[in-house]
Amino acid sequence: MTDIIERYFDRIFPICRSITGNGVRETLKIISEIVPLKIYEIPSHTEVFDWNVPKEWNIKDAYILTPDGRKICDFKKHNLHVVNYSIPVHKKITFEELNQHLHTLPHKPNAIPYVTSYYKENWGFCISYDEYKTLPKEGIYEVFIDSSLEAGSLTYADVILEGERKDEILISTYVCHPSMANNELSGPLVSMFLYQKLAALKNREYTYRFVFIPETIGALVYLKQHGEYLKKHCKAGYVVTCIGDKGIFHYKLSKYGNTLADKAAIHTLKHSRKPFRIIPFFPGGSDERQYCSPAFNLPVGSLMRTPYREYPEYHTSLDNKEFISFKAIQESIEMYFQILLTLECNDKYINLFPYGEPQLGKRGLYVGDLSRDQVMQIMYILQYSDGMNDLIDIAERIKVDIKDLHPLVQLLIEKKLLNNGSN
Amino acid sequence: MTDIIERYFDRIFPICRSITGNGVRETLKIISEIVPLKIYEIPSHTEVFDWNVPKEWNIKDAYILTPDGRKICDFKKHNLHVVNYSIPVHKKITFEELNQHLHTLPHKPNAIPYVTSYYKENWGFCISYDEYKTLPKEGIYEVFIDSSLEAGSLTYADVILEGERKDEILISTYVCHPSMANNELSGPLVSMFLYQKLAALKNREYTYRFVFIPETIGALVYLKQHGEYLKKHCKAGYVVTCIGDKGIFHYKLSKYGNTLADKAAIHTLKHSRKPFRIIPFFPGGSDERQYCSPAFNLPVGSLMRTPYREYPEYHTSLDNKEFISFKAIQESIEMYFQILLTLECNDKYINLFPYGEPQLGKRGLYVGDLSRDQVMQIMYILQYSDGMNDLIDIAERIKVDIKDLHPLVQLLIEKKLLNNGSN
Amino acid sequence: MTDIIERYFDRIFPICRSITGNGVRETLKIISEIVPLKIYEIPSHTEVFDWNVPKEWNIKDAYILTPDGRKICDFKKHNLHVVNYSIPVHKKITFEELNQHLHTLPHKPNAIPYVTSYYKENWGFCISYDEYKTLPKEGIYEVFIDSSLEAGSLTYADVILEGERKDEILISTYVCHPSMANNELSGPLVSMFLYQKLAALKNREYTYRFVFIPETIGALVYLKQHGEYLKKHCKAGYVVTCIGDKGIFHYKLSKYGNTLADKAAIHTLKHSRKPFRIIPFFPGGSDERQYCSPAFNLPVGSLMRTPYREYPEYHTSLDNKEFISFKAIQESIEMYFQILLTLECNDKYINLFPYGEPQLGKRGLYVGDLSRDQVMQIMYILQYSDGMNDLIDIAERIKVDIKDLHPLVQLLIEKKLLNNGSN
């Protein structure tokens, strides 16, 4: 399993992605080998709430020739060398002029920083501070960026995996980050293989919506097109990001921390026997801040490993293959899958024999047929399936994993003691 | 007082009770000497929600004759020796066959277990493991159970002690357990003498309903007949069980722990200066699980001493006179009585002079007439008797016993500063 | 600043105040030099809810001549020597008779107690226990109180400082205590200079109502006349009392501790870097118990330093100029002012671009234009200005002072991203 993940990583990682352009298209095409994506193109300049879809950006090559004859910031060696969304440029300039277009990180001298300029036309190069220090202050530099910034379109994709209900679970990740590994190739990789596991599941209760978009502007486009539908049907959602490093799990709550997304994630993490941390919502971060914005306020949280900004390699060339772990990615897929299974198990079931206890013995549901613990769990389910509690609530009350209660729920449905919830 | 309790214990204990039959009738007849019970008979096979009233069971004698000539499992020596609801049997069998009908407790070798088979026709004997080990494996055993299981009726009783209001407090205990002391002769004994104390009380606010029933099926019958009335009028209730041993008090909360029954019990225990524990509702236990079932959800908790299953003597012949204490029983009666007095004192009183403070001085309610503490308590009562709080809420706010506030409430009612609540 | 406060203290302190009479009038006249008071007279015997305005009391002189020729309890030396509201008396009596009219504090032997008899006609003198011990038991005493208790009126004052909104903040203090410093000249002094600071503020959001009344009966009169209006318009209020000593701040919560008055005071104290204590409402104390009475239940708390009854000098001649500190009074004015500024900053603002994030960069609201912290705070404001939270809620969520958020709110209003709340 980790092998195939790694093979896809190796193919997708080198592509120069941005919020528009062929890098996104190429990436979505590869993902389509696993996930039957539907791909959309939104023309440049389309109005999106307070925003506009920007011009489409593409790039073929870029480099700097130094006065002492070196070729540096070679786009073909690392696409982070070019400021993302740089306009084309080809000229000879002094170091002084060049210097205003160079980005370095003096505190991380061996890292090429990741810099973008989506909404302000500009050009620039990113270079490690170690290399920067070797540049001659005298002489003439030749800068070359073979890019285009023209009317075109923004590309995104989604896929719907239908279930018994129209109610939906949203899985959203982003495909606009160029060659970085944790932030953000881990999100698309986890989403791809999570889709695969889920598609193999029979009798899904929920309908699943997987969304592969450029961050921010893509989420806004998506909400423009699907926001009202999601307000009605999305019962829980997760933004999948920073999910490939070796750190412990971090679950970022939705805006008020009180949604089904939060309840299912926390319940699952608590019963996972893995260390984890719950962090409150904050309006920085990724697309959860669009999904949770006041007009939509969707029940969307985010399960990560080490969150953005909390690891020093974040947004640099050091966020690379060495920084992540394919074993961690596989574990992340499994954890997300377990959260979805929690949601699948959950429902507000209703006791159909609410007048006192139903007679369990005559239905083969008493001690002897089942263990004493199971009989007690059945009694809890019947007592609290009174319209006030869903199955997570009951599992939390008994301090057991919802997955241990679910077979008993199935048995009770079979015995016609419980209805099967929302169906 | 303990003398009379002990005399009743000695008379009621030896009777072989079950969920139906003459043992219950005999027991209720003795209880009627103290409590003016109204006794009901419900015919066998009557439908009761998901259940049916079982056939009536009676037994005259039972024993086993061993190959080596001993008479063992003699019903006349201890009625636990026979599985409760055993069908009649009289035959000669091998040890091998007999062994399938013998019940022992290897971990409590000197205890006869308590076993029932109400809803599955069967017969059996219960024997201490120590005695079991002496049985010859060879030879022929004669087994004899002189019982009858025939159409008849289920017997239960109740009594209403009327008060000022139609609102009711429910006291429910069960009379189906044969010769065991804590579980369950303590419950009927406490209920009997609690009734007596309460009947002696003048000017009861609440109407009290005392119920003596066989466990589970009796509670279901009772709810079938009175459940809708109780939903309207029952304001608090308690299942009286396991209340005679020397352990500390345990109060088992009602289903959501937020009822008047819980509030009154907790407040009373807190001010009792006795050690106690609050335990959450769980759907095992006694008839509270019928009363709290989704269709009724009555405000019913249970004050116990050591709860069922938590003491090793539970459901064995070791739960006997030595295990309990008549002093403890008397203390339990008093604690239940104090809870009822808390309820009697309590009400959502309404300040009749809500526009600023009424002038206390001109009514003889100021410092000089009363202590400074009392004046302050009066001021609390007037401030918070605003329709939001009952008197327990106010007492909890000031951290005093409601019984210390009640005379002041009476004074305020007399002075026409407060209305007398629900009347 | 402390100089001018001290000068007013020195002028107002010696005046013999009571709940009616010329002492109150004289006091209000001096306060009028700073605060443009509107002064009201309410005739004696006017009905006020459960009360009546008492007769007006005035006093010119009072003393006792001892058998050994000393003039003691001289009203002209200390007005606490006469029981407040003493009826006129002039007669010669024995020590035995006199003794029934003398008040002392054996546990504070050098203190003259403060005693009143507003609603029971009586006369009396207050004397330090040290001096009391020197009185001869034999011989004839001459007692003289040149007072009058006649139909007249009760005097109080208020002033309205108008703001943008009709919604009001109430500042209430009392002017009935004679020569004591902390309780109660500190309250009127803080209110006077708080008014002055507030009047100097441009663009007040709230309308402010400052009330100078005799305690209890004055508050009742005020509620009789303005209570229904206050129920509609008063959004927060504070009783200003015991605010001049060197103790730490104590904030007494409103009746249920859940009002805007409480929220604003607690938020301000938390960000003041000064030690403070929050105490629950209790129905003793000052006029908050009238304001919070059931029929009005106004959102009124009280910021004090050392509360009444908690300092030994309380209600004695030892509560004098030495006991208070003008620096403390100035700090109290500032703390009250900061609470009012918190209220001024606060509102339930509404994000006008609730569909995803508005584009901050094109409005000069992104990193570069503002600090990273400020951008994050803007994002919090936009996310949570969703109709559920006021600005204090948002500040509490981020754990910053509302005053740090307010300039950002102003910026967002200017940029038309936020509406300006209730206006």
CATH of the domain at B219: 3.40.630.10
Picking from B361, B380, B386, the nearest residue to C294 by CB comes out as B386
Question: In terms of CA atoms, which chain B residue is nearest residue C293?
Answer: B356
- Number of residues in chain A: 423
A420 pLDDT band, cuts 50/70/90, is confident
Whether B291 and B211 have beta carbons less than 8 Å apart is answered as: no
Measured distance CA(A268)–CA(A280) in Å, rounded: 17
Q: Per the domain annotation, does C297 fall within a domain?
A: yes
Cα A213-A216-A217 angle, rounded to 5 deg? 75
In B113-179 the beta strands, taken as DSSP E runs, fall at 125-126, 140-150, 153-161, 168-174
* A169, burial (CB in 10 Å: exposed 0-12, middle 13-18, buried 19+): buried
Whether A421 shows a pLDDT value over 70: the answer reads no
Measured distance CA(C59)–CA(C23) in Å, rounded: 9
| Residue C339 exposure: Cα atoms within 13 Å on the Cβ side | 28
- Give mean pLDDT, residues A273-286: 96
Residue written as tokens 């019903």?
A: B75
Closest CA to B308 of B258, B207, B229, B240: B240
**Domain count along chain A:** 3
* A294-324 residue pLDDT tens: 999 999 999 999 999 999 999 999 999 999 9
Q: How far is C383 from chain A (nearest CA, A)?
A: 6
Residue written as tokens 């041993």?
A: B245
Q: Output DSSP code: residue A88.
A: P
In a shared domain, residues A242 and A335: yes
Q: Say if the Cβ atoms of A293 and C383 lie within 8 Å.
A: yes
Q: Output DSSP code: residue B154.
A: E
Residue written as tokens 């009072």?
A: C62
Residues of C in contact with A172 (CB under 8 A): none
* B131-150 residue pLDDT tens: 999 999 999 999 999 999 99
Q: Per the domain annotation, does B160 fall within a domain?
A: no
Q: How far is B210 from chain A (nearest CA, A)?
A: 19
Beta bridge partners of A209: A160, A170
* B49, burial (CB in 10 Å: exposed 0-12, middle 13-18, buried 19+): buried
Whether A141 and A98 have beta carbons less than 8 Å apart is answered as: yes
pLDDT at A1: 81
Residues of C in contact with B385 (CB under 8 A): 294
Residues of C in contact with A119 (CB under 8 A): 359, 361-362
Which tokens in the block code for residue C269? Answer: 């104290």
Residues of A in contact with B255 (CB under 8 A): 383-384
Residues of chain C numbered 349-368 and touching chain A (CB < 8 Å): 351, 353-359, 361-362
Measured distance CA(A35)–CA(A171) in Å, rounded: 13
In a shared domain, residues B125 and B240: no
Which tokens in the block code for residue B62? Answer: 């039972």
In a shared domain, residues B43 and B62: no
Question: In terms of CA atoms, which chain C residue is nearest residue B380?
Answer: C283
Residue A29's SS3 state is helix
Question: In terms of CA atoms, which chain A residue is nearest residue B52?
Answer: A359
Region of C172 (left: φ > 0; alpha: ψ -120 to 50; beta: rest) is beta
| Residue B377 exposure: Cα atoms within 13 Å on the Cβ side | 23
- Rounded mean pLDDT of chain B? 97
Picking from B51, B219, B297, the nearest residue to A359 by CB comes out as B51
* A325-368 residue pLDDT tens: 999 999 999 999 999 999 999 999 999 999 999 999 999 999 88
Whether A16 shows a pLDDT value over 90: the answer reads yes
- Give mean pLDDT, residues A118-126: 96
For residue B156, give the amino acid letter: Y
Which tokens in the block code for residue C385? Answer: 């200005």
Residues of A in contact with C382 (CB under 8 A): 283, 293-294
Measured distance CA(C69)–CA(C197) in Å, rounded: 53
In a shared domain, residues C267 and C337: yes
In a shared domain, residues B198 and B324: yes
pLDDT at B355: 97
Whether A62 and A75 have beta carbons less than 8 Å apart is answered as: yes
Q: Say if the Cβ atoms of A361 and B119 lie within 8 Å.
A: yes
Measured distance CA(B333)–CA(B337) in Å, rounded: 6
User: Of A118, A150, A182, which marks where a domain is finished?
Assistant: A150
A170 pLDDT band, cuts 50/70/90, is very high
Q: Per the domain annotation, does C421 fall within a domain?
A: no
Of chain A, the percentage scoring pLDDT greater than 70 comes to 99
Report chain C (423 residues): mean pLDDT per 10 consecutive residues: 95 98 98 98 98 98 97 98 98 97 97 96 98 97 98 98 97 98 97 98 96 98 98 98 98 98 98 97 96 98 96 97 98 98 97 96 92 96 97 98 97 95 61
Residues of A in contact with C354 (CB under 8 A): 293-295
For CA atoms A330, A335, A340, A344, the dihedral sign is positive
pLDDT at A422: 63
Closest CA to B175 of B332, B28, B11: B28
Residue written as tokens 């969520």?
A: C397
Q: Say if the Cβ atoms of B355 and C120 lie within 8 Å.
A: no
CATH number at residue B128: 3.50.30.90
Task: Select the residue from C349, C359, C367, C417 to test the A interface by mutation, using most A Cβ atoms within 10 A.
Answer: C359
C-alpha dist (Å) from residue B340 to B169, B197, B198, B243, B268: 8, 11, 9, 16, 9
User: Of A107, A130, A150, which marks where a domain is finished?
Assistant: A150
- Number of residues in chain B: 423
Q: Per the domain annotation, does C422 fall within a domain?
A: no
In a shared domain, residues B183 and B326: yes
Closest CA to A401 of A334, A338, A350, A347: A338
pLDDT at A368: 87
Q: How far is B50 from chain A (nearest CA, A)?
A: 5
* B214-238 residue pLDDT tens: 999 999 999 999 999 999 999 999 9
Measured distance CA(C334)–CA(C189) in Å, rounded: 13
Picking from B119, B255, B295, the nearest residue to A354 by CB comes out as B295
User: Of A345, A376, A406, which marks where a domain is finished?
Assistant: A345
pLDDT at C368: 87
Measured distance CA(C164)–CA(C206) in Å, rounded: 6
Q: Per the domain annotation, does A354 fall within a domain?
A: no
* A389-399 residue pLDDT tens: 999 999 999 99
Measured distance CA(A77)–CA(A92) in Å, rounded: 22
In a shared domain, residues B182 and B46: yes
Q: Say if the Cβ atoms of C294 and B361 lie within 8 Å.
A: no
Measured distance CA(C143)–CA(B313) in Å, rounded: 83
pLDDT at B162: 97
Q: pTM of the full predicted structure?
A: 0.94
Residues of A in contact with B119 (CB under 8 A): 359, 361-362
For residue B312, give the amino acid letter: P
Q: Say if the Cβ atoms of B356 and C119 lie within 8 Å.
A: no
* A174-204 residue pLDDT tens: 999 999 999 999 999 999 999 999 999 989 9
Closest CA to A185 of A196, A197, A177: A177
Q: Which domain holds residue B394?
A: 361-414
Q: What torsion, rounded to 10 degrees, do the Cα atoms B381, B385, B390, B392 define?
A: -10
Picking from C356, C361, C384, the nearest residue to A220 by CB comes out as C356
Q: What are phi and psi of C32, to 5 degrees?
A: -60, -20
In a shared domain, residues A42 and A81: no
Q: Per the domain annotation, does C13 fall within a domain?
A: yes
In a shared domain, residues C192 and C266: yes
Which of the other chains make 3 or more beta carbon contacts under 8 angstroms with chain C? A, B
Q: Say if the Cβ atoms of C359 and A295 lie within 8 Å.
A: no
In a shared domain, residues A64 and A48: no
Residue written as tokens 């549901």?
A: A365
B382 pLDDT band, cuts 50/70/90, is very high
Q: Say if the Cβ atoms of A383 and B119 lie within 8 Å.
A: no
Q: Per the domain annotation, does A350 fall within a domain?
A: no
Buried b (16+ CB within 10 A) or exposed e, A130-166: eebeebeeeeebebbbebebeebbbbbbbbebebebe
Please indicate if any CB of chain A lies within 8 Å of the CB of C386.
yes
Measured distance CA(A287)–CA(A237) in Å, rounded: 11
Measured distance CA(B390)–CA(C201) in Å, rounded: 45
Which of the other chains make 3 or more beta carbon contacts under 8 angstroms with chain A? B, C
Please indicate if any CB of chain A lies within 8 Å of the CB of B290.
yes
pLDDT at B1: 81
pLDDT at C423: 52
C-alpha dist (Å) from residue A65 to A62, A68, A79, A139: 10, 8, 17, 11
Residues of C in contact with B356 (CB under 8 A): 49-51, 219-220, 223, 290, 293, 295-296
pLDDT at C420: 81
In a shared domain, residues B183 and B316: yes
Please indicate if any CB of chain B lies within 8 Å of the CB of C47.
no
Region of C401 (left: φ > 0; alpha: ψ -120 to 50; beta: rest) is beta
In a shared domain, residues C197 and C231: yes
Residue C290's SS3 state is helix
For CA atoms A369, A373, A376, A377, the dihedral sign is negative
Q: Say if the Cβ atoms of B283 and A379 lie within 8 Å.
A: yes
Q: Per the domain annotation, does C159 fall within a domain?
A: no
Region of A58 (left: φ > 0; alpha: ψ -120 to 50; beta: rest) is beta
C-alpha dist (Å) from residue B123 to B22, B84, B98, B215: 19, 8, 10, 21
**Regarding predicted confidence, which is higher, B184 or B148?**
B148
- Give mean pLDDT, residues A155-166: 97
- Rounded mean pLDDT of chain A? 97
pLDDT at C1: 81
Measured distance CA(B307)–CA(B289) in Å, rounded: 15
H helix intervals, C283-362: 288-291, 326-345
Which tokens in the block code for residue B161? Answer: 């002690």
In B352-405 the beta strands, taken as DSSP E runs, fall at none
pLDDT at B422: 63
